[in-house]
Structure 1
Amino acid sequence: MLLASAHLIALQELAAEEAAGHATHSLAEDDSQEHIYRELELQGLALLQPPRAYQLSYAGREALDLMRAMHAENLLPTIDRLEHNWRFLGSDILAALHAATLKKGQVGPVTVDMLRARGFTKQVQDTLEKRQLTCLNRYGEAWRDFAEHHRPRLEIYGDLANAIRHMHPGYAQKPAAQMTAEQLALMEAMNLLAWSIPEGDNYVLTALGQAVYDALRKEGYSPLDVALDEPLLQVLAELADKGSSVLTPEQIASLQLLGYVDADEKLSAAGYAALKAYSLLQKEVPEKTRTFAITEPEVELLTTIDHLVQEHKPTNKEALHRVLVNRMVKRYRALEGRRGRTLRERTPLKRQAVALLEQVKEHDEWFNTNWDLEELLVGLEAFDLLRAEMEGRNMGYRLTFTGQKIVEEQEGNTRDISATAVKALTIAETHLGVPAQWWIEQAREEELIGTGGITASGRFYANLANHCIRRLALTREEAELLEQLPDTEGESCGFGSNSREGLDEEKRNWALEKLEARGFIDRLVDCQMIRTEAGQLLTRAVSGAMHLGHPITPTLVRVLAAIRQVGTLYVKERKVRMQPHQWEEAERLSGLGESEFREMLHVARMGQYVGEATLTEAGLDLLAVQELIDKEYSVAAKRP
């Protein structure tokens, strides 16, 4: 939705005409405000009376009433005194309202000024923490609800279609030199385009905008009248569902002229892209942003395993440690001569690792000071990038298909991929998909966005974010951060935004990256943070295991799942009881060797997930979290 001062003035003029007894407001052929009325009509705020007359709709009257009420409470000046071309509502403002709603009305530090300037905020005293909070007032909530309830109509004429065909595909400051401000406003009004927060420095195509862009780029264009609208999409859907026999010859000819149907009366590539747009108009768009994260050392470990497997060498932890240490020493010696060249080469962890390489003579000691092999393995298992399996009497590791693809993608360019960068791409697929500017900058740094928009790497990791399997994993630092999750990301407000941040701050940031990538927290576009449903349940489940180095690992969850499958559930007690003879079957189902199963069972008891002969309530909660994650990412059927 888009409402600028010109739109509000036009609504006021329509109301004045109505009050004067005129049914409609007619425009001259050369009226410079025609595009304003067109945008209002597409958003359902005005009604077109052909050929060139408009009248106020019910929704338009509702919008005016809200504005008048805000003026009566001195939250805004009268409409005629608003600044020229002032954006009252737009994609960025609505995203700020949505983020505050997710935080129970609390406004984040990045969006306080923009929402306060529009009269959407109030000050609330937090008596528990003894501080003042900025929250949405009833008008902020009312405008959020207004935008939710009034969906714009999709209708693209030839001139706009031609402009869209030649525009830049997103993540840039200007779509195209030849695209006019009026065309940009039309796209935003139809929810095809959104501007980044906080300053609108970059635009992105929404999921609907991307589908429309794809359809028009693949020949869906005509210089005549409408190139794409909802009635046309309905006809295309009829063709896809029932075949060309249900369409008239005129309808077939029109679709062929537009390029949506080929000579054989079958859907073309443009037709399939248009059907995706139709599907997006018909279904609910996801609320939550999916993302993905992997660190450079994790990539090096994947590469190490891949090389060892190709050379038919053992992949147990001892062998992995030896080879990985040598790889990391070689890599960081190469960094010594080029420190500070890029953001990812001047992080505190890299600076420390390079400095210690000269000071510490024992390479094993140097590696263990900076990294933890067990933590790296668990982090990779959490995204199903590798799997543990028995190699004779020892536990070895093998890459999954996804892990192999990451090794191939990162070959010759090993680097961190942060959840912050990936969600700059995937947020476009969500409701009110507006990215923060610092997310976009991070994505550029990690080469997920280039001069031509999203790169091949960006599409690869965005696809992983949506489709990779997630297994529960949590380090102690992550568990503590999840339990005591702060309201906001802090002063830097964005990963990597402060090159002088300390080592502890970098580790904290990466813990947040992992928590978000696994689906336990959401870092909102206004810099606030919230736990997801899975994160809230996980916080409760892990409370008795905070003393463990790794309170949750995928292997631990496998053991708990095997116990639940074998044992007997007592609903009232919320426990699963095990008989002595059932432990052997649980071991078999876990896929672990005898010693590994006993070791993991010991860890589960230390974490209070398992009693002497029971799976506890905490253990059941942990399995419930895994079920939530599986349901959200629709991957249960993919599990082995």
Structure 2
Amino acid sequence: MLLASAHLIALHELAAKEAAGHTTHTLAEDDVQEHIYRELELQGLVLLEPPRAYQLSYAGREALDLIRAMHAENLLPTIDRLEHNWRFLGSDILGALHAATLRKGQVGPVTTDMLRARGLAKQTQDTLEKRQLTCLNRYGEAWEDFAERHRPRLEIYGELANAIRHMHPGYAQKPAAQMTAGQLALMEAMNLLVWSVPEGDNYVLTALGQAVYDALRKGGYSPLDVVLDEPLLQVLAELVDKGSAALASEQIASLQLLGYVDADEKLSEAGYAALRAYSLLQRDVPEKTHTFAITEPEVELLTTIDRLAQEQKPTHKEALHRALIDRMVKHYRSLEGRRGRMLREKAPLKRQAVALLEEVKEHDKWFNTNWDLEELIVGLEAFDLLRAEMEGSKMSYRLTPTGSRIVKEQEGNTRDISATAVKALTIVATPLSVPAQWWIEQAREEELIGTGGISASGHFYANLANHCVRQLALTREEAEILEQLPDTEGASCGFGTSNHEGLDEEKRNWAMEKLEARGFINRLVDCQIIRTEAGQLLTRAVSGAMHLGHPVTPTIVRLLAAIRQAGTLYVKERKVRIQPHQWGEVERLTGLGEHEFREVLHVARMGQYVGEATLTEAGLDLLAVHELIHKEYGVAAAESHQVGHQ
């Protein structure tokens, strides 16, 4: 949706004509405002009476009523005082409104000024915490609701189609040098692209825009006729549903001319992309955004396991610990010379590790000061990148196919991949769901975005975000942050934090990255933070386990699932009772050795997930979270009841 100064003036102009007894307003052939009325027409705010007459639609009257009410309350400048080319509403503003809506109307620090300048937010007093808040006013809520209810029309002619075919694929400041401001406005009005928050520095094609872009890039275009619109897409859908016999020969010829159908009257690649666009027009795009995160030490651990496995050496914890320390010592001895400037400016943990390597001669002590092997293992298990297997009397580790792919992708360029950066690529861009500028900047820094748009690495991690299986895991630091979740990401909200943050702040930031990548929190475009449904339930489940080093591990979840499978559920008590003779079956279902089973059972009791002979309410809550994340990431709910290594 797009409403700038010229659009507001045009709506008032139509209303004035109507009040004077003229039902329509006719434009001259050379009227410079023609593109403004065209943009309003595509958004359903005015109706065209061919050849060149316009009148207000019902949606246009609704929009005008809101604008007049805002004028009456002095929330908007009067028409004669509007700045030229001022954007009242656009994809960036709507993204800010939507983020506030997700936070129950509270506005984030990044978008406060932009919403208040448009009369869409107000100051309120939080009596409980005794502080001032900025919240959406009734007009901010009304415009967000308006944008959700009204969908623009898709209609692309030859000139715009040609521009789209040659545009930059996204994450740039300008789609193409030859693309005009009017063509950009048309694309935004049709919900084909959105601009980043807060300054609109970069654009991203929406899901619909990407489908249209693919269709036009792979197809053809006619310089005068409609290249892509809903009637044409309906014909294309009829071809798929009923076959070519259902269409007239002229229709087939037109589809072939545009490149949507091949010589055999079958859909081409462009045709399939066009049908994807048609599907998106017929339904709401799911808003949920998946992401992924992995730290450089976790990549080093994956690589260590891979090398040991190739050399047919043991991969139990003791062997891993020794091999990983040797690898990390070599890596950090070469790091200062190779990336000294980056270390000095941006990586407190790396700075500490390099400094301590010179001071601490005992390498085991040096490693344990900076990292926790158990925490690295749990972090990798959470994304199903490695799995534990019993080998004789010891637990060993093997890479999953996904873990092996990460080792290959990072070979020669080991680096952190943050949830923030990956989210910039996986966000299902819609008029209400837009990326933050600093997400895009982070993605560039991590080499997920290049000069030509999303890089090969970017596509790799975006695919992982959407398809990799999650296992339930939580460190103590993550649990504490989840329990005491801040309202926002801090005063700087991601803009330039890496230049000044300290070691504790870096660790806290990475805990947030992991929480978001696992689906427990959602960091909004205005830098506010909310818990997801799974995050809220998990917070309650771990309240009695905060003293544990790792309040949740995949092994604990495996034990709880085994107890539920072997025991008897008492619905009224919300407990699963286990008889003494059933513990043997529980141990068998977990697939753990006797020592490991006793150990994890002890930890689960310390965390109050398991009583002497029961699976507690907290344990059931934890299993409910397990089911939620499996359902969220495309795994059948029935699978979450199954226990590995049966």
TM-score normalised to structure 1 length? 0.98
Alignment partner, residue 64 of structure 1: 64
* Larger mean Cα displacement after TM superposition, 66-75 or 428-437: 428-437
Q: CA separation in 2, counterparts of 1:429 and 1:563?
A: 42
Aligned AA for 1:274? A
Distance 1:305 1:83, change over 3 A: same
Matched, 1:174 2:174: yes
- Secondary structure of the 1:545 match is coil
- Secondary structure of the 2:106 match is coil
Q: CA separation in 2, counterparts of 1:587 and 1:431?
A: 51
Shift of 1:287: 2.0
What does residue range 8-157 of structure 1 map to in structure 2 within 5 Å?
8-157=8-157
8 Å contact 2:2–2:90 — kept in the other structure? yes
User: Could you report, residue by residue, the CA deviation over 1:338-394 in whole angstroms, capped at 9, with x for unpaired residues?
Assistant: 444337983100000000000000111111100000000000000011111111221
Q: CA separation in 2, counterparts of 1:493 and 1:422?
A: 17
User: Could you report, residue by residue, the CA deviation over 1:574-626 in whole angstroms, capped at 9, with x for unpaired residues?
Assistant: 00000111111111111211211111111100000000010000000000011
What does residue range 85-484 of structure 1 map to in structure 2 within 5 Å?
85-342=85-342, 346-429=346-429, 432-484=432-484
Alignment partner, residue 601 of structure 1: 601
Q: CA separation in 1, counterparts of 2:314 and 2:431?
A: 47
8 Å contact 1:343–1:496 — kept in the other structure? no
Q: CA separation in 1, counterparts of 2:57 and 2:420?
A: 41
Aligned residues: 640
Identity of aligned residues (%): 86
Q: CA separation in 1, counterparts of 2:51 and 2:45?
A: 18
Q: CA separation in 1, counterparts of 2:491 and 2:59?
A: 40
Shift of 1:79: 2.2
User: Could you report, residue by residue, the CA deviation over 1:152-202 in whole angstroms, capped at 9, with x for unpaired residues?
Assistant: 111111100000000000111111010000000000001111111111111
Aligned AA for 2:206? T
Q: CA separation in 1, counterparts of 2:499 and 2:239?
A: 55
8 Å contact 1:95–1:432 — kept in the other structure? yes
Q: CA separation in 2, counterparts of 1:618 and 1:500?
A: 40
Q: CA separation in 1, counterparts of 2:21 and 2:211?
A: 43
Shift of 1:496: 6.1
Q: CA separation in 2, counterparts of 1:218 and 1:266?
A: 15
- Secondary structure of the 2:609 match is coil
Q: CA separation in 2, counterparts of 1:496 and 1:612?
A: 51
- Secondary structure of the 2:88 match is strand
Q: CA separation in 1, counterparts of 2:176 and 2:343?
A: 30
8 Å contact 1:438–1:497 — kept in the other structure? no
Shift of 1:565: 0.9
Aligned AA for 1:521? I
Aligned AA for 1:445? E
Distance 1:125 1:39, change over 3 A: same
Shift of 1:526: 0.4
Alignment partner, residue 541 of structure 1: 541
* Larger mean Cα displacement after TM superposition, 240-249 or 11-20: 240-249
Q: CA separation in 2, counterparts of 1:508 and 1:269?
A: 46
* Larger mean Cα displacement after TM superposition, 428-437 or 24-33: 428-437
8 Å contact 1:285–1:431 — kept in the other structure? no
Aligned AA for 2:291? T
TM-score normalised to structure 2 length? 0.97
Shift of 1:407: 0.8
What does residue range 564-575 of structure 1 map to in structure 2 within 5 Å?
564-575=564-575
Q: CA separation in 2, counterparts of 1:272 and 1:429?
A: 20
Aligned AA for 1:351? R
Q: How well do the aligned residues superpose, as a CA RMSD in angstroms? A: 1.3
Q: CA separation in 1, counterparts of 2:166 and 2:125?
A: 51
Alignment partner, residue 488 of structure 1: 488
Aligned AA for 2:324? L
8 Å contact 2:103–2:530 — kept in the other structure? yes
Shift of 1:214: 0.7
Shift of 1:293: 0.2
Q: CA separation in 2, counterparts of 1:340 and 1:361?
A: 21
Q: CA separation in 1, counterparts of 2:262 and 2:404?
A: 39
Distance 1:496 1:585, change over 3 A: farther
Shift of 1:241: 2.5
Distance 1:318 1:393, change over 3 A: same
Alignment partner, residue 635 of structure 2: 635
Aligned AA for 2:278? Y
8 Å contact 2:91–2:432 — kept in the other structure? yes
Shift of 1:432: 2.5
- Secondary structure of the 2:427 match is helix
* Larger mean Cα displacement after TM superposition, 483-492 or 430-439: 430-439
Aligned AA for 2:552? I
- Secondary structure of the 1:624 match is helix
8 Å contact 2:476–2:546 — kept in the other structure? yes
Q: CA separation in 1, counterparts of 2:596 and 2:431?
A: 45
User: Could you report, residue by residue, the CA deviation over 1:126-160 in whole angstroms, capped at 9, with x for unpaired residues?
Assistant: 11111010000000000100111111111111100
Distance 1:408 1:546, change over 3 A: same
Q: CA separation in 2, counterparts of 1:238 and 1:388?
A: 52
Matched, 1:522 2:497: no
Runs in 1 of length 4+ with deviation above 4 angstroms?
A: 637-640
* Larger mean Cα displacement after TM superposition, 27-36 or 246-255: 246-255
* Larger mean Cα displacement after TM superposition, 8-17 or 274-283: 274-283
Q: CA separation in 1, counterparts of 2:14 and 2:26?
A: 10
Aligned AA for 2:486? P
Q: CA separation in 1, counterparts of 2:9 and 2:23?
A: 18
8 Å contact 2:191–2:430 — kept in the other structure? no
- Secondary structure of the 1:342 match is helix
Shift of 1:235: 1.6
8 Å contact 2:98–2:433 — kept in the other structure? no
Shift of 1:244: 1.7
Aligned AA for 1:314? P
- Secondary structure of the 2:544 match is helix
| Structure 2: gaps of 5 or more residues | none
8 Å contact 1:521–1:532 — kept in the other structure? yes
